[in-house]
Amino acid sequence: MLNKLKSNWKAWLTVAMINIPLSISLAVASWATPIQWIITWIWAWIIASLFASSHYNVFWVAWALSSILLWFVMLHPENWVLLLPLIAIFAWFFILLVYIFKLTKYITLIPSTALHWFLISVWVTIALWQLSWALWLNDPALKIEQHHEIAMNIYELFKHIWSINISSFVTFWLGLSFLMFCKKYFPKFPAVIILTIVWIIIWILVSKWMIPNMLLLVTKFPSLSFSLVDFSFFTNIKIESLSNLIDIFKSLFNISLVVAIIAIIETIISARIAEKITKVKFNKDREVLGLALSNIWTWLVWWLPNTAVFVRTALNINSWANHRTSAFLIALFTLLISALLFNWAFKFLPFPIISAILMNIAIWLIDIGLLKKLYNIEKQAFIITIITTFFSVFWEPTYWILIWTSITLIIYIKKITNSDAYVTIFREWWYREKISLSKYIHCQHNNDLVLTKFSLWLNYLNIETNISLIEKLSHNQSLIISLAHMWNIDIDWIEAIDEMIDVLKNNNINVYISWIEDIETSFIKKLHNYKYLDENQKIYTTSAEIIEKLT
């Protein structure tokens, strides 16, 4: 155990130091309190390091969740700090159901296109939200109205453009330039840590006579103090009426469902990235269990929902972590730093610097290369990505996430539905070629012997396409329906095969069925055409027997 501690100290020191300013910055982006983010991070890592399967996965209030939390806050400004933890308990319930009913593999089947546009929309949203803070237009003294629609906030920005604070903008631009320069030319340099420490020291030492007045973290959170738990919701939460309670419950339900889905997907993706880099296997179901337990615990101490984060996981691995002890130590070290320094040091972090940190993250994570790849390879996916990003940024995102993910899945299912079987053609007693059934319909000849194989399984999704094609076969052909590659046949296909046989008989096409012992004989006997097939010797164990007989 001592050797594990010694070999992982670089990882926990590096990750802990960089994540404190990032937690503060992203808390601002989501309108949660910095303490909510930091303590959620500490508790989530401790629980996940004990129960999750991956040795490297880093659990946190993921950046992808910050946009969703922001929208929820804007919808319920009167209870914005107090209601956020409830998302964790709702999300925990959904995640636990996924674990209990072994649904993880179905959640992770959501196409990557849906994830790409969602992540892009998250970072576009965060980047646009930073403009007001960077330009000092969020100063309470200006009394500029804050909207939950980003489009309206951009309008307010232009409307009050003459109120921009030049000192704030210069500070923001210097911080952003420094971070982008380091990211490009010195990627291993801890630029975020250095920038945070330097500005805190500058502000504490010389702010009174050398630096113009500027919004600080303590300006927005005047009563902020470090605490591992917070149960103030028992006395402070405001419910105005029964209808207000119902509205809150609906919002919690909808947003928590999206949070749960995103949390599961991000956790599995992050664990896969760690597995690919380190070659250390993980258990998908156990990882979801660790996610569920970390969310129930963070709710019990009244903090935020969390998930694994692949960027932090990669940082953990690149910082020489080789065991789950690194995550546990990172949490403890973060707890120590926060307890000692938060109340008197991190409170003095200027908002323009926080905005610079977030803007830098957003710029680097909006993957332009991915958009180019989508455009060149799959233009349909590119169009979906652009449209859904636009709607998710400028309107409430949770419904769009579900709507456009569903549309993406429908497009994918449509591709499956339109897929047809491959056929092997024998012409004049010789093998001719192997092509798709749809192509063969346009080049078929009388007296061809056609071997049709339905791959994997036959179901309601591809019944219509295959039946319509088989009905177009010419007269006087012989058709072998091979079930050799099947692993499941449902009731829809039992009826469909009967329908095909009826059509083929009416078209004077000789139909044969070949099958293997893995498919129960009871299936064949359920066909109403079974007697016809059996009496006319149309059922064989293998296709080779039929081909030998007919050729």
How confident is the model over 296-310, as pLDDT tens digits?
A: 888 887 788 988 877
The pLDDT confidence band at residue 293, using thresholds 50, 70 and 90, is: very high
pLDDT of amino acid 422: 78
Backbone angles phi and psi of 451, in degrees to 5: -100, 115
| Among candidate residues 254, 225, 295, the one with its CA nearest the CA of residue 76 | 254
- Quick one: pLDDT at residue 230? 67
Instruction: Enumerate residues 6+ apart whose C-beta is below 8 A from 176.
Output: 356, 359, 360
- pLDDT at residue 9 is higher than 70: no
DSSP 367-414: -HHHHHHHHHH-HHHHHHHHHHHHHHHHS-HHHHHHHHHHHHHHHHHH
Residue 249's pLDDT is what? 85
Kindly list the domain boundaries of the chain, sorted by start residue.
2-413, 420-550
Distance CA(163)–CA(146), nearest Å, equals: 15
What's the pLDDT at 481? 84
- Average pLDDT on 391-397 reads 66
Residue matched to tokens 């169009």: 383
Does residue 181 surpass a pLDDT of 90?
yes
Specify whether the CB–CB gap between 423 and 451 falls below 8 A. Answer: yes
CATH fit for domain 420-550, picks 3.10.290.10, 3.30.750.24, 3.40.50.970, 3.40.50.150 = 3.30.750.24
Whole-number Å distance between alpha carbons of 20 and 413:
43
Mean pLDDT value across residues 375-388: 75
**Residue 498 has what pLDDT?**
82
496 Cβ contact partners less than 8 Å away, ≥ 6 residues apart: 458, 463, 466, 467
Which three-class secondary structure state does DSSP give residue 216?
strand
Q: What is the structure's pLDDT at 175?
A: 92
Angle at 90 between CA 89 and CA 91, to 5 degrees: 90
What distance in Å separates the CA atoms of residue 126 and residue 76, rounded to the nearest whole number? 19
Task: Count other Cβ atoms within 10 Å, centred on residue 174.
Answer: 15
CA 294 – CA 328 distance, rounded (Å): 13
User: How many Å apart are CA 452 and CA 305, to the nearest integer?
Assistant: 51
Is the CA virtual torsion 117, 119, 120, 124 positive or negative? positive
Rounded Cα distance between 545 and 551, Å, is 10
Residue 340: partners with Cβ closer than 8 Å, 6 or more residues away: none
pLDDT band at residue 319 using 50, 70 and 90 as cut-offs: low
pLDDT tens for 230-272 read 665 555 666 677 777 788 888 888 888 888 988 888 888 788 8
Q: What is the overall mean pLDDT for the chain?
A: 77
pLDDT tens column, 89-121: 899 899 999 999 888 877 766 665 666 666 677
In total, the chain counts a number of residues equal to 551
Closest Cα to residue 478, out of 454, 515, 505?
505
> Is a pLDDT exceeding 60 seen at residue 7?
no
Confidence of residue 544 (pLDDT cuts 50, 70, 90): confident
Q: Give me the half-sphere count of Cα atoms (radius 13 Å) on the Cβ side of residue 436.
A: 8
Strand order in the sheet with 422-427: 430-436, 422-427, 449-453, 478-482, 510-514, 539-540
Name the token pair of 207: 């702010």
CB 421 within 8 A of CB 462: no
Tell which residue, 300, 350, 5, 307, has the closest CA to residue 168: 350
Residue 354: what pLDDT? 83
Alpha helices, DSSP H, located in 279-346: 284-300, 310-318, 325-341
Q: In this structure, are residues 479 and 504 in contact, taking their beta carbons and an 8 Å threshold?
A: yes
**What is the largest distance, in Å, between two alpha-carbon atoms of the chain?**
103
